[in-house]
A and B are shown apart, each in its own frame.
Chain A
């Protein structure tokens, strides 16, 4: 399969896939650093307010390859992952008007869309592993009038979870990552950590409880 150049993953990515001397002047380097949360949010708002295709393309280029990576980590076949990426990104277009920056950051919002579509897909195929039913809840929360400090708290939450992950030990961070990004997290955690399957649950519990304490300590 041919690769679409992804503007958001240079130089590191480029360095891996090209001879070193070429990676310095990569032709696929449009505007420097990957987009930050505010840029992503403004692109999404441009999609919502004026069906801005340019902005949609930018959101697509940043997220679609990551959503595909996420789905494939969760055991989705390549072809199926492509289809679910399509569904996810078309949903992003359609639901852009519902995106509420006071509720979640763009990456969080797109994560929940992809997660829900994957779960729906598994259920449709009778492969039910996961489920989620908080669409309705999100709907309800959206009806509340947005408070300025909610916007702030969303931003703080996005920062807080990243900081808490950074403070976790490598092993516990790995456990948390695998809990999200693995088809059979427990089996994989046992394998990666070289521990018996029977002890994985308590290791996950320890890691998540530690994460919880860190998040609590980071709260304003």
Chain B
């Protein structure tokens, strides 16, 4: 998988700093799963976070802080080994094509099945339990279909999980990441040879043009 489009470094650094909102953070995290280059960069920025922590001037702690921590450790002494995550019942997920792994970043999230939103177009709402307001969804668009033209009031982030689309600026394939700022007015078109599945997060409202497009926007809940 040749990845051509990466998150910009300021975004990777904000991710390493824990400063991204939930939706964008999960889209970036799913990019990292498929991109060793960005993973290494995030490791560098995390190392920078470590260096900054190291250099921070210490704050005074409560006098009993260490005693409290040791007491907490004693209280769970029986379980001193790290507790393996209990495997919970497999959450409901929309089907992905064979060979396309479900992004590990979305583990713990719930997702609806594929919902129809137009000819050849389906979407699945992803809910992050800790942050239900995060606007995160999967889009599955059929071969040759074009998404309704839209702009956004803020920032749209997309990670291509399968297939390929072209939005007039560039072509995006599996593993590619795209951040479209609010001023970009784009109309992604899916390649003729197969469908395309993307993970997307939108910060502001998606603004679709035209009546049908607005209806779809309403369906998607944006």
Contact = CB atoms under 8 A, between A and B. Distances in A.
22 contacts: A1-B60, A3-B60, A3-B63, A4-B61, A8-B58, A56-B70, A64-B69, A65-B58, A65-B60, A66-B59, A68-B59, A73-B56, A86-B65, A94-B82, A97-B82, A104-B47, A111-B52, A112-B49, A130-B19, A131-B128, A137-B39, A205-B10
B73 A67 contact: no
A181 B46 contact: no
B62 interface: yes
Interface centre among A1, A64, A128, A201 (most CB of B within 10 A): A128
A132 B18 contact: yes
B51 A158 contact: yes
Nearest to A87: B72
Contact of B42 (A13, A105, A134, A185): A134
A134 B29 contact: yes
Contacts of A118: 18
Interface stretch (B20-28, B92-100, B114-122): B20-28
A181 B52 contact: yes
Query: Which bucket holds chain B's interface residue count?
Result: 35 or more
A177 B55 CA distance: 11
B19 A108 contact: no
Interface in A52-98: 53, 56-57, 60-61, 63-70, 72-73, 81-82, 85-86, 89-90, 93-95, 97-98
Interface of A: 1-4, 6, 8-9, 13, 51, 53, 56-57, 60-61, 63-70, 72-73, 81-82, 85-86, 89-90, 93-95, 97-98, 103-112, 114-116, 118-120, 123-124, 126, 128-134, 136-137, 140, 157-158, 160-162, 165, 176-177, 179-181, 185, 201, 204-205, 208-209, 211-212, 215
A161 B29 contact: no
A70 B56 contact: yes
B13 A208 contact: yes
A204 B8 CA distance: 11
A91 to B, nearest CB: 9
Interface string B171-182: 000000000000
A140 to B, nearest CB: 8
A98 B60 CA distance: 29
